[in-house]
Structure 1
Amino acid sequence: MRVLKPLILLAVMAVAALLWNQRAPEPSPVGAGGPQPHATVPAPGSRLPPFLPAEAADTLARIAHGGPFEHRQDGVVFNNREGRLPAMPEGYYHEYTVETPGLDYRGARRIITGGTPPRVYYYTEDHYRTFRQFEVNP
């Protein structure tokens, strides 16, 4: 019986290791290492909705190219805790900073993307209280 206990423990550990490796791979955040699918890049001179500030064009270009991003929070998962965007699986939405001239911190303006690569875009100027959906045309 003494020899049997370690063998059973070893078998249980081996099965657990096999099952652990069967998990679905976690999606890598946008801007992480490795090739990333690219979003639609707004063409130079393309018209963005008038409610977007001029700085949003730079943010959209960075999103489309996978970076570089100036803030470590850019590209992280936006959890939509308040439910102000359509319900989607965790990891669907990502957030990015839209610079505010004159501020030395992130400010309140963000672009939220949905999908990888992004298929839907939202803008908030009041730190997630309200959102306006918009399209990015190539």
Structure 2
Amino acid sequence: MLLRFVPRVLLCLLVLLAGCASTDSDPPSGMATVTVAELPVEARRTLELIDDGGPFPYAKDGSVFGNFEGLLPDHGRGYYREYTVPTPGSRDRGARRLVTGQGGEVYYTDDHYDSFRAVLR
């Protein structure tokens, strides 16, 4: 009985691992991309802060991004977080943001969510 059970458990584990290997970090089909090196220096600094877990200079950094524009892949509320990319000379937060997903994906917008580019890391 136990010997018949073990192969089934191993098969289930392999299926689960295969599912984990495919991540959402690949850019959606047709979406423009940008490499980290091509990002503005301020965006690279913000990405470093995200990787380090902060501290962030703006109170809204790390807040939920709702994807109301529908330009990013559809996920449940709370999947995406947004971070300000400072704009030199701007008197407010400006229009530049990095948006991260729970699957490790990162998106950059420099026009306040009118368009996004997937960041290739």
**Relative contact order, CA 8 A, sep 6+: which one is greater?**
2
Please, which runs of 5 or more residues in structure 2 have no aligned partner?
1-34
Cα deviation digits, residues 44-65 of structure 1 (max 9, x gap): xxx7242x21111110111011
Aligned position for 1:69: 56
Residue by residue over 1:12-36, the C-alpha shift from the partner in whole angstroms, topping out at 9 and shown as x without a partner, is xxxxxxxxxxxxxxxxxxxxxxxxx
Give the equivalent residue in structure 1 for 2:68: 81
TM normalised by structure 1 equals 0.60
**Paired residue secondary structure (2:64):** coil
What TM-score comes out, normalization by structure 2 length? 0.68
Q: Cα RMSD (Å) of the superposition?
A: 1.3
Q: Residue in 1 aligned with 2:93?
A: 106
Contact preservation (8 Å) 1:76, 1:95: yes
Q: Which residue of 2 aligns with 1:26?
A: none
Alignment identity in percent? 52
Matched, 1:120 2:102: no
Q: Which structure 1 residue ranges, 5 or more long, are not aligned?
A: 1-46
Where has structure 1 moved over 4 Å in runs of 4 or more?
none
| Residues matched between the structures, number | 87
CA contact (8 A) 1:49 1:134 kept: no
Q: Within 2, Cα distance between the matches of 1:49 and 1:92?
A: 26
* Higher Cα radius of gyration: 1
Structure with the bigger percentage of strand:
2
CA distance, structure 2, for counterparts of residue 68 and residue 104 of structure 1: 21
